[in-house]
Amino acid sequence: QKEVEQDPGPLSVPEGAIVSLNCTYSNSAFQYFMWYRQYSRKGPELLMYTYSSGNKEDGRFTAQVDKSSKYISLFIRDSQPSDSATYLCAMSGTGGFKTIFGAGTRLFVKA
Amino acid sequence: DTGVSQDPRHKITKRGQNVTFRCDPISEHNRLYWYRQTLGQGPEFLTYFQNEAQLEKSRLLSDRFSAERPKGSFSTLEIQRTEQGDSAMYLCASSLGRKLTETNYGYTFGSGTRLTVV
């Protein structure tokens, strides 16, 4: 079993829809949770960063962490075609320099 | 500073040849990481440097792989006697951590070097 599980999709939604992306994990030592966005043929770009449980909002993006369920989510409101990319969840432990990534979910937002 | 720079962007090599990739991190970042990403997968950790010290190597990094970061600035990743299974995107990332135990707050990645072994 992988430490981080993420549905690879693809997920296709119409422009303006609310998108929900999710990951589950097995290592309870994870304390830091991140979402990266990766466009084709580019490196991942950090979108959101959350420590421990709770919510964090940044513009159209909201990250949620539920450590009791070992479940993290990223919500995208008013999705745009420019949001079409692969979204990677990632996590690390306290003092950890090694980040474990999910496989990524491919998102397509149709105009 | 324009971010993390990787060179070359693409490399095609014949099986059995040696290849070397270079990464120039963000200048004030003291941590540097190498990851490997294959199609449809997330990045997999290969190795990590804190300044010039290589502090961790993944079991993915076989004896054919070696990484260096002389003087704590740029880094090189060399693959000797390449195999077709080495074909992947090799990603370099950097971050700032003042203390050894300071937690990583997220990386800045380069655009990667895409290696194809034929």
Cβ–Cβ gap B109/A98 under 8 Å: no
Q: Judged by CB atoms within 8 Å, which residues 81-100 of A form the interface with B? A: 88, 90, 92, 94-100
The torsion region of residue A9 among left (phi > 0), alpha (psi -120 to 50) and beta comes to left
Cβ–Cβ gap A49/B31 under 8 Å: no
At residue B105, the pLDDT reads 65
Cβ–Cβ gap B42/A95 under 8 Å: no
Cβ–Cβ contact A3 with B under 8 A:
no
Write out pLDDT tens, residues B48-97: 998 999 988 888 888 999 999 998 899 999 999 999 999 999 999 998 87
C-beta neighbour count of B105 within 10 angstroms: 14
**Partner residue opposite B45 with nearest CB, options A46, A98, A102:** A98
Write out pLDDT tens, residues B22-46: 999 999 888 999 999 999 999 999 9
Rounded Cα–Cα distance for residues B75 and A74 (Å): 33
Write out pLDDT tens, residues A11-26: 999 999 999 999 999 9
Q: Which residue of B has its CA nearest to A9?
A: B40
A5: helix, strand or coil: strand
A103: Cβ–Cβ under 8 A, 6 or more apart, which residues? A6, A8, A88, B40, B41, B42
Cβ–Cβ gap B104/A103 under 8 Å: no
Torsion angles phi and psi, residue A82, rounded to 5:
-70, -10
Contacts A100 to B, Cβ<8 Å: 45
Contacts A88 to B, Cβ<8 Å: 42-43
Q: Has residue B100 got a pLDDT over 70?
A: no
At residue B79, the pLDDT reads 97
Rounded Cα–Cα distance for residues B78 and A58 (Å): 39
At residue A92, the pLDDT reads 87
> Mind listing the pLDDT tens digit of every residue in chain A (111 residues)?
789 999 988 999 999 999 999 999 999 989 889 999 999 989 999 998 888 888 999 999 999 999 999 999 999 999 999 999 999 999 988 655 788 999 999 999 999
At residue B69, the pLDDT reads 96
Instruction: Note whether A17 and A107 are within 8 A (CB).
Output: no
At residue B76, the pLDDT reads 98
Contacts A46 to B, Cβ<8 Å: 106-108
Confidence of residue B102 (pLDDT cuts 50, 70, 90): low
Cβ–Cβ gap A97/B93 under 8 Å: no
Strands A61-66 and A54-58: antiparallel
At residue A87, the pLDDT reads 98
